[in-house]
């Protein structure tokens, strides 16, 4: 399979011994003999040595809310760590299927979770490099005969040893167009997801209803996805917390009388079309910073540190969310 797709053989020195205790590849050192049945392993020490808590803590710090998502990622981490320990006793469960589907609206943290997932899998020895390659249909599907296969294979080559994140994956399949080349990309992906899943994890992402329709039209793809994780939209209080975190990272804060204005802004924006959760919050803060800077420059004179770091009500009230 690797030769047919042009990936080449994996160098023996690049990959750790298989985490699930399966046979090592040619040239790799033989696996250590299994521990005697009466042996004991300290789970706390194994967890600490794997450094997975650093990744999980970073995920917790980076993303507000999303408790079900974080719980599932922790469960996957626990399973992989236990499987690695089982392998030391000679208990071979086989490598688990780690291909996933992330569903939810834009701006709910799917790419951030995928990035941390890649790092987590690398620390546990399930991928060689732990990098994330994020693509869309345009990166995989060509516009003429013979163009799709090379594009798809090049993306897969870059993603090998890590995680391939395909955003809005349902656009790969266009049933209304019989001459569309997306199906060719899907077929190549299916082969790699099955035959090289020891060296690549694929994460498909998009709106839930559209991903459900995509899987209905592509049962082969559906059967290769082991984990379906839904990312809920953020609640108003969570959006407000996200906004405060973003402002703090950039060295800004809200004046006391700006707090209710910002809250009102979020409620109004959330009810409008094309709301993108955390992305819309980030865009709102960026525009408020523009108005803040323009306001200070228009005023002239001297400024204090507090004035340079404090957003006032007018920095939000002139937004089209209020005026339009």
pLDDT digits (tens, 9 = 90+) for 76-91: 999 999 999 998 888 8
* Banded model confidence at residue 35, pLDDT cuts 50, 70, 90: confident
Q: Give the percent of the chain with pLDDT over 70.
A: 90
The dihedral through the CA atoms of 206, 209, 210, 214 has a sign that is positive
Q: Rounded CA gap, 59 and 52, in Å? A: 11
> Does the structure show a pLDDT above 50 at 191?
yes
pLDDT tens-digit readout, 125-170: 999 999 999 999 999 998 888 889 999 999 999 999 999 999 999 9
- Give the residue from 114, 192, 184, 127 showing the smallest Cα distance to 156: 192
> Does the structure show a pLDDT above 70 at 30?
no
The dihedral through the CA atoms of 288, 294, 298, 300 has a sign that is positive
Query: Between the CA atoms of 222, 183, 191 and 230, what dihedral angle is there, to the nearest 10 degrees?
Result: -30
Q: Which residues belong to CATH 1.10.8.60 in the chain?
A: 236-323
C-alpha distances out from residue 29 to 8, 10, 124, Å: 21, 15, 19
Q: Which residues belong to CATH 3.40.50.300 in the chain?
A: 2-228
Please state the CATH superfamily assignment of the domain spanning residues 2-228 in this structure: P-loop containing nucleotide triphosphate hydrolases (3.40.50.300)
Q: Rounded CA gap, 125 and 136, in Å? A: 27
Q: Rounded CA gap, 212 and 233, in Å? A: 18
> Does the structure show a pLDDT above 50 at 97?
yes
**Interacting residues of 324 by C-beta distance below 8 A, sequence separation 6+:** none
Reported residue count of the chain is 324
- Give the residue from 100, 83, 87 showing the smallest Cα distance to 33: 87
Mean pLDDT of the chain: 88
State the pTM of this model.
Answer: 0.83
Amino acid 194: pLDDT: 92
pLDDT tens-digit readout, 230-259: 999 999 999 999 999 999 999 999 999 999
236-323 has which CATH code? 1.10.8.60
Amino acid 141: pLDDT: 92
Amino acid 25: pLDDT: 41
* Banded model confidence at residue 117, pLDDT cuts 50, 70, 90: very high
Q: Per DSSP, what are the bridge partners of residue 229?
A: 102
Q: Rounded CA gap, 31 and 53, in Å? A: 27
């Amino acid at each position: 399979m690797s030769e047919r797709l042009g990936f080449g053989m994996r160098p023996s020195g690049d990959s750790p011994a298989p985490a699930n205790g399966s046979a090592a590849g040619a040239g790799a050192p033989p696996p250590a003999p299994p521990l005697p049945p009466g042996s004991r392993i300290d789970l706390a020490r194994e967890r600490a040595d794997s450094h997975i808590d650093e990744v999980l803590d970073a995920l917790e710090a980076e993303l507000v809310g999303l408790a079900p998502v974080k719980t599932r990622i922790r469960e996957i981490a626990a399973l992989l760590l236990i499987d690695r320990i089982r392998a030391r006793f000679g208990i071979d469960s086989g490598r688990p299927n780690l291909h996933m589907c992330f569903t939810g609206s834009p701006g709910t943290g799917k790419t951030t979770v995928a990035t941390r997932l890649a790092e987590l899998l690398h620390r546990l020895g399930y991928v060689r490099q732990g990098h994330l390659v994020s693509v869309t249909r345009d990166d995989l599907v060509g516009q003429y005969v013979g163009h799709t296969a090379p594009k798809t294979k090049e993306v897969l080559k870059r993603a090998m040893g890590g995680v391939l994140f395909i955003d809005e994956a349902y656009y790969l399949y266009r049933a209304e167009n019989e001459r569309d080349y997306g199906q060719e990309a899907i077929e190549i992906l299916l082969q790699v997801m099955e035959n090289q899943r020891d060296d690549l994890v694929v994460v498909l992402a998009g709106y839930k209803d559209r991903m459900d329709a995509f899987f209905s039209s592509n049962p082969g793809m559906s059967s290769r996805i082991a984990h379906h994780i839904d990312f809920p939209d953020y609640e108003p209080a969570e959006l407000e917390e996200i906004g405060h975190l973003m402002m703090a990272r950039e060295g800004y804060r809200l004046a006391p009388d700006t707090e209710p204005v910002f809250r009102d802004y979020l409620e109004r924006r959330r009810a409008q079309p094309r709301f993108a959760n955390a992305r819309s919050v980030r865009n709102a803060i960026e525009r408020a910073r523009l108005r803040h800077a323009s306001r200070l420059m228009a005023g002239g004179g001297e400024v204090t540190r507090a004035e340079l770091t404090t957003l006032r009500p007018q920095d939000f009230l002139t937004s089209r969310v209020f005026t339009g």
